Structure 1
Amino acid sequence: MNAEGRKSNLKCGFSELYSWQRQRKTKKEFCLHDGPPYANGDPHVGHALNKILKDITNRFHMMRGYKVHYVPGWDCHGLPVEMKALSELQVQDLSAMEIRQKARKFAERAIEKQKSAFIRWGIMADWANCYYTFDGKYEAKQLGIFQKMYEKDYIYQDYKPVFWSPSANTALAEGELEYNEQHISRSVYIKFPLLKSPPKLASVMDGLSKVSLLVWTTQPWTVPANQAVCYIPNSEYSVVKCTNTGECYILVADRVESLAAILDMQVEVISTFKGIDLEGGSCAHPTIPGRDSPLLPADHVTMAKGTGLVHTAPAHGMEDYSVASHHQLPMDCLVDEGGFFTEAAGSELQNKAVLEEGNEAVIQMLQAAKSLLKEERYVHSYPYDWRTKKPVIIRASKQWFVNTANIKATTQEVLKKVKFVPASAEKRMLEMLDRRTFWCISRQRCWGVPIPVFYHKTTGESLINSKTIGNVIRIVEQQGSDAWWTLPVEQLLPREAVAKVGNHNALDYVKGQDILDIWFDSGTSWAHVLEDADQQADLYLEGKDQLGGWFQSSVLTSVATRKKAPYKTLMIHGFTLGEKGEKMSKSIGNVVDPDVVINGGQDHSKEPPYGADVLRWWVAESNVFTEVLIGPAVLNAARDDINKLRNTLRFLLGNVAGFSPETDSVPASEMYVIDQYMLHLLQDYSNKVTEAYKEYDYSRVIRLLQAFHTRDLSNFYFSIIKDRLYCEEEKSLKRRSCQTVLAEVLDAVVRSVAPILPHLAEEVFQHFPYKMGTGIAA
């Protein structure tokens, strides 16, 4: 792109263009709701892919006569921003307000960096009026949605296991996890000695010495919290005897041979029976004398791995918790917020990290109690905190939840009416939603929107109702959420709300310390941004990770409060990778910086300046529904393709000089046959391009464009008409006939490429020798 092209963003005034089209007197409106990127870092090629796709879409609809509604936004709260802000400081012991101030300043700096990059990429928007999740009015709207959901009994507090990040000291939602496929656990095979024979197996067990249930787990640290052993009622189990030691073991019948090989045992089967026959039995805890664990039926036990018998620690497993709730088992948690064993775990374990020395200590205890049969490394998929990149644990704690089980059926019905692009994404999103029975919305941080709840100083009972939430909403709307930390409790908690629960003094209460999950932050954006668009967008367009993230939190909050989706169409794109399909990484040296793509690196011979339109062409020509590759070869090819197109446009511009469509056009009936044929090809091209745009298939637009301007124009039509253009009289019918076609072609080609290459299109518009018509190719 030449200097003129590089400066064209300033000339074009794309923010003025956005404001201009908003003033159009038309009832046709197209609303694309911008999913907010995190305000926690520099702009990257993932941003470029997403924002440029949105801009191509908006520009197409604008050129079709629609009034485009597009408000860019930023996700400003939560751990990603808080961690980045604190990493810049040496001081550790900061107050909540100090952390909030530092985090806000960090977010504001990141927003300015990202915003200037988005403008440089040619993104059309009113950049003076964006939305930010830390804005007081936005926060008040969000709390309004929280209030409605609370009033409809979708929000509740409970003590249950949640994904917990010891590295960040907070609960996480499933959308905040990433899975490490190469995680190594220390798996163990453990003996749980049979204490009480199941009544139906009393005759089988008579005369057998040392009978134990054989249990396998990949998380030895959870064994101290064991409260039961679960079996599958309809599966077959066997009692086997080890011929070497004389000890007997109960395990699932299908795995007797494979487990005997793993444990290096010679065994004989004494008896085989149904799992239901284990009912009424109990076994001893392998490390805690005097504690017995009942044998209980459960559906979650799997046959794929293990022994068909599962150790059950209600504080450390979702299914374990369900079993414990049904059978009224204790749910004590022996692990603190930092991932260390508490005093309740005993002196041998206290203060030891459960994923490190705590795990080792439990294995040593099993060995000392002669309960350990085998330990081995086990490589498997394990959840990690997607921000700290460290393993999480499942840990019971008191949290606030959205009961998605009660919203799920309606949400699934609503999603069936939403158009998915590509269509295959619908199944993935419905499957993700189906697995989600609750949504943990409380986070143990201070940079965010507070959960408006108060706790009694003595009893710990929570106080939350419509009056308390409504009062906080009014204050937040005027002063922002800082007020929760700066105002005294008596200003936040209305007197009538305290009187309603039988107390007389707000000072009996303290403010809750949890903030709302940032997925709730961004998932309620529709309530703030779409007020002028009937609170339903025509399109949400984001990466595939949002099928379990923003797409889902948006639809759940919308369905819970008004029984409809906030979007009519979802478009889902893939992630960006290096040009060989590898992940981008600084260590490999294949990270592509969009700023370097546009302006060039320090050494222009190695990293030339390509200009913004090359970046946009790369987005448009890629198959964005899979992973999107970028690198020097891809960018060089894009630059060459644009240069070829520029040459075509230069030829067209040069040969309509001195031609006025209003006075010099030749009617189609008087044209040469070849010119009439060219108009036919042009109409076919225009129709196909328009359909491709409508289907969000921008790579097809590029393919159609390249075929048309190289094959139909340069190689075919231009070579035929050159003699007429250069040799005939200036105003002769022969010359005017093909000039009429060239003017039509120029108009259609520039309009068809303008949503993708607005800088080039603007450059062409500035050199038009006459005024153009309106509308993209129809």
Structure 2
Amino acid sequence: MSDADPKPIRDYRDTVFLPKTDFPMKAGLPQKEPGIAARWEAEKLYDQLRDARRGRPKFMYHDGPPYANGDMHIGHALNHTIKDMVCRTQNLLGKDAPYVPGWDCHGLPIEWKVEEQYRKAKRDKDSVPLLEFRAECRAYAQHWVDVQREQLKRLGVMADWDHPYLTMQPESEATIVAELLKFATSGQLYRGAKPVMWSPVEKTALAEAEVEYEDVVSTQIDVGFEIVESPIPELVGAYAVIWTTTPWTIPVNQALAYGPEVEYELLEIWLHVSDQGDGDLSLEQRRNPLMSSLDKRKVLVAKELKEAFRERLNKDLRDKSTQPVVELSTTLKFLGTVKGSDLAGTVARHPMHALGGFFAEPRPFLPGDFVTTDTGTGLVHMAPDHGEDDFELCKAYGITPKFAVEGDGKYREDWGWLGGQGSVINPKFNAPDGPICSDLREAGELLAASADYKHSYPHSWRSKAKVIFRCTPQWFVPMDKPLDHLPAISRAEQRWENEGGDTTIDEEAHAGSPSLRELALAEIERVKFIPEKGRNRIGSMVEGRPDWVLSRQRAWGVPITLFVNRQTGEYLVDEAVNARIVAAVKEHGIDAWTPETAHSFLGDDYDPAEWEPVTDILDVWFDSGTSHAYVLDSGRWPDLKWPADIYVEGSDQHRGWFQSSLLESCATRGRAPYDQILTHGFTMDAKGMKMSKSLGNTVDPIKVMETYGADIIRLWALSVDFTEDHRIGDEILKGVADQYRKLRNTFRYLLGALDGFDYDSEGVGYGDMPELERYVLARLAQLDATIRAAIDAYDFNEYVRALIEFCNEDLSAFYFDIRKDRLYCDDPDGIERRATRTVLDVLFQALVRYAAPVLVFTAEEVWGTRFPANEGKGRGSVHLLEMHPLPAEFANQALVAKYAALIALREQVTEAIEPLRREKIVRSGLEAEVTVPASAVPEGFSDADLAGLFITATVRRGDGDDVTVTRTSDSKCGRCWRLLPEVVDDGELCARCADVVGEIAA
């Protein structure tokens, strides 16, 4: 080799301590997760956790039962991820937080699905024996319980899947019956005929929680009721005008309501004709024959609504004119003013009075505080069968319902007008040219009609069909009857607790029994709501709700196990009879109660001929509302206790499960069955629109798991602000997957850097660590405090945000970047490198715990990679670990503040280097010589420290205010690639690397 030949540069890569791990960068979650879940199930991980936490402080979560009807949807996935997170984080804190899952199995949705199968097979449900039908419903529910259970396991939810609670289990049904009989025994139950929401399609009463509201376009009509008696003589012969959007209720009208404070006007209608063509047309030819009676007719309407009424008259005239070349209009001539209260004693007659019988009876004017002048005419027609206000007002004046509309929505066959016709919810039946309006128009009493009124209307959330208010005999729980059966001392204690008393209970001062409404409202004030707005939501619902309708007219559900005296109508209260009923249901389930077998419970003390068994079933909200009794308070699950610390569901459950549980527990136990309520919003599509199969914008969580993995769904669910409505879509999921990759790479780096680390031989104590290591531990202490506060507040969005931010910014972009040189190139036995690895071990132990409740599969993979069970050093599942408090010495706010200033300066240096890197003057910061303002450097850092922290060749302090950068002229070490004055030529070794390579060679 000649002197001119370049000296060969040795490759030192085999001397560098690069990270080493089998943990792959590519996650492959869809393939790995099912195997991990199967291992958990085989190893009975949930049971292991219960054993590990036994004897610890209890945290009691009670699961709200999802309906066993169909596959898991994205709302279920979010819901159960949050529930799982609640329990996992409490277990992580070292508490005993069991999770017993449950399902709602009775009720109309399942019955409806079985009936659909019958209809497809052309079978008549009514011809199927009751027990056979129940068996098919039970099988249908069990099928979907099994399907959903497997889907939730796949989502990574850790629960007692082998022992869930089902509302259709005989033990559950027996407790439901026992709770019902508590209401009956205490007198908190009555049978009455009141208007309830009724589905003519499903032929049953519905609870408010089973109803959803949608916009519809209805027929609006103005109808005249001729006044035949009045203390105001001028009104006799005039027509009281009512306005309604439910024409089908006119055949059941029994009275008219006025507002006592409303000002009414007596008006005369004048009909005007304007020629637009042939002037030879006569008046009778020019106007609609059916409207001829309008001319000079006297009407009574509210002063504030007369113009709106006139506009409807004119529209109807235009729509119905037989001569298109003629324009018809009206003028309302003022005749006088009448105050509402002066209408007392006025009587009108029904528009169809000529039919005789019911329709010929007088229609009295009644004062109604609910009458307003917002819409209509200021006069309201009263049909006590079909409205709450109507019912209560008519009841006060001795007017009773007529039960004219049958369960299928048709009028009774014997009804005098339109008997046997309907259905009343059919738009054609109510249309301006339908039978009701046609008959009214022919009678000369339909003043205006148009099918153009858009408004919100209740629908059954199952059948999607419109519902009606229909008066039927039902079983009710009174909201305003005093709860005299609750022990006085219990009531006093509860009130005292609610009012924040000290240690003494003044029973006399707290005497008197609250009503169910009052007690429920007091409990709502006591319970903690997350978010807080839930308190007002459920409070307003309870404050204004009517009596609780318990009965349903179906077959698949827990029967109302009562006997009613055929003569008096009173129900039987007998402890022995009740005990026999409960025991039979516990053994045989709801099949113990049928019309054929029910009388067997009466025993010898009662004559079956005198007692009729009730055939109705219970509202399914009563089933689930009593779940606290048969899950927490039954002893079936020894790990559970009553009451629950928290209930977790969607915000719609303020009118559903939260409320039914509250009312049931208050009525039987004097307090709510929970101390906290956590609610989440609804999942919308990426554009913020409600998901709908018809719109094709649904997101299937099962497909998402097949594409991305369950951990991605979990990370999404816990990253969004789930207390509000939130979004999901392909781009959102891609963003979540990117965040996941960054977290995964953090763990991959830790695993590689900790290869072979053993604390006993390599660990460094806190006092011997460099300052940067102590700073990172201080930041970890801050993260730990944030995580704990987020757990306490159930702020999982903040939990995940803090975790991701720490991994990305504090570790990947800062600490890992700075310490790569030390990890790769320092002497393995040197205290500084050992200190770095010690900190990485602390970080690993903390971060894997923080991540475990969120990324349940990935955290298990990470833990198993470092501590594989098959190598004899396995430490069990990551999900058995606890989050122990960090050493107090880690917390160092002064150090955090000091490094915050340094990091700000580091960012300025990075920005200053970037232009030179883009222009290829330097390839990286290692080739940069940097001058920084001396005033910006915190105390305690040498220039060499700064160069290491900024990852530059050198750092000098200057007098100016700017950061300046030039390219260094130093040569590059062939092993660590740092450019240093001590390196003579590129490729030579710096002193540190020379020593390490020498030791390796030796």
1:2-151 correspondence runs (5 A):
2=28, 3-13=31-41, 16-23=44-51, 24-89=53-118, 90=121, 91-92=123-124, 93-151=127-185
Which residue identity is paired with 2:532? A
Q: Deviations over 1:457-505 (max 9, x none)?
A: x759454323443321121012111111286344232332x2xxxxxx3
1:100-499 correspondence runs (5 A):
100-181=134-215, 183-197=216-230, 199=231, 201-202=232-233, 204-205=234-235, 210-244=237-271, 245-264=295-314, 265-289=330-354, 290-346=360-416, 348-356=418-426, 358-359=429-430, 360-377=434-451, 378-406=453-481, 407-455=516-564, 461=569, 463-467=571-575, 468-485=577-594, 488-496=597-605, 498=606
Point out the structure with max Rg over C-alpha: 2
Retained in 2: the 8 A contact 1:489–1:506? no
Residues 486 and 361 from structure 1, CA distance in 2 versus in 1: closer, same or farther, beyond 3 angstroms?
closer
Aligned to 2:653: 546
Which residue identity is paired with 1:527? A
Q: Deviations over 1:229-266 (max 9, x none)?
A: 00111121111122332221111111223322332321
Equivalent position SS for 1:567: coil
In 2, Cα distance between the equivalents of 1:777 and 1:85? 52
In 2, Cα distance between the equivalents of 1:700 and 1:550? 28
Matched, 1:681 2:779: yes
Is the deviation greater in 429-438 or in 459-468?
Answer: 459-468
Is the deviation greater in 667-676 or in 29-38?
Answer: 667-676
Equivalent position SS for 1:400: strand
In 1, Cα distance between the equivalents of 2:800 and 2:767? 32
Equivalent position SS for 2:594: helix
Deviation at residue 534 of structure 1 after TM alignment: 4.1
Which residue identity is paired with 1:559? C
Is the deviation greater in 268-277 or in 393-402?
Answer: 268-277
Q: 1:640 aligns with which of 738, 741, 744?
A: 738
Q: Deviations over 1:20-70 (max 9, x none)?
A: 232234340111100001111111111111111111111100010101122
Retained in 2: the 8 A contact 1:405–1:437? no
Deviation at residue 774 of structure 1 after TM alignment: 5.2
CA RMSD of aligned residues (A): 1.9
Q: Deviations over 1:521-578 (max 9, x none)?
A: 1100000111254421011000111000000000000000111100111001112222
In 2, Cα distance between the equivalents of 1:25 and 1:33? 18
Residues 14 and 72 from structure 1, CA distance in 2 versus in 1: closer, same or farther, beyond 3 angstroms?
farther
Aligned to 1:606: none
1:536-575 correspondence runs (5 A):
536-575=643-682
In 2, Cα distance between the equivalents of 1:15 and 1:344? 68
Is the deviation greater in 423-432 or in 249-258?
Answer: 249-258
Which residue identity is paired with 2:144? A
Retained in 2: the 8 A contact 1:224–1:288? no
Which residue identity is paired with 2:862? V
Deviation at residue 662 of structure 1 after TM alignment: 3.3
Matched, 1:736 2:801: no
In 2, Cα distance between the equivalents of 1:27 and 1:689? 21
In 2, Cα distance between the equivalents of 1:189 and 1:350? 25
Which residue identity is paired with 2:445? S
Deviation at residue 176 of structure 1 after TM alignment: 1.0
Which residue identity is paired with 1:738? T
Which residue identity is paired with 1:661? Y
Deviation at residue 700 of structure 1 after TM alignment: 1.1
Is the deviation greater in 254-263 or in 218-227?
Answer: 254-263
Retained in 1: the 8 A contact 2:849–2:881? no
Is the deviation greater in 534-543 or in 17-26?
Answer: 17-26
In 2, Cα distance between the equivalents of 1:432 and 1:42? 31
In 1, Cα distance between the equivalents of 2:305 and 2:456? 22
Question: How does the TM-score come out when normalised to structure 1?
Answer: 0.94
Is the deviation greater in 15-24 or in 623-632?
Answer: 15-24
Runs of at least 5 residues in structure 2 that lack an aligned partner in the other structure = 1-26, 272-294, 315-329, 355-359, 482-515, 868-872, 886-1002
Which residue identity is paired with 1:309? L
Retained in 2: the 8 A contact 1:6–1:611? no
In 1, Cα distance between the equivalents of 2:716 and 2:425? 44
In 2, Cα distance between the equivalents of 1:376 and 1:5? 60
Runs of at least 5 residues in structure 1 that lack an aligned partner in the other structure = 499-504, 600-608
Which residue identity is paired with 2:49? Q
In 2, Cα distance between the equivalents of 1:14 and 1:411? 44
The count of aligned residue pairs is 754
Aligned to 2:810: 712
Retained in 2: the 8 A contact 1:471–1:494? no
In 2, Cα distance between the equivalents of 1:127 and 1:167? 36
In 1, Cα distance between the equivalents of 2:348 and 2:34? 76
Aligned to 1:623: 721
In 2, Cα distance between the equivalents of 1:486 and 1:71? 35
In 1, Cα distance between the equivalents of 2:298 and 2:91? 76
Question: How does the TM-score come out when normalised to structure 2?
Answer: 0.73
Aligned-pair identity (%): 36
Which residue identity is paired with 2:794? Y
Matched, 1:578 2:689: no
Q: Deviations over 1:572-596 (max 9, x none)?
A: 1112222222232333333222221
In 1, Cα distance between the equivalents of 2:174 and 2:33? 43
In 1, Cα distance between the equivalents of 2:32 and 2:395? 70
Aligned to 2:616: 514
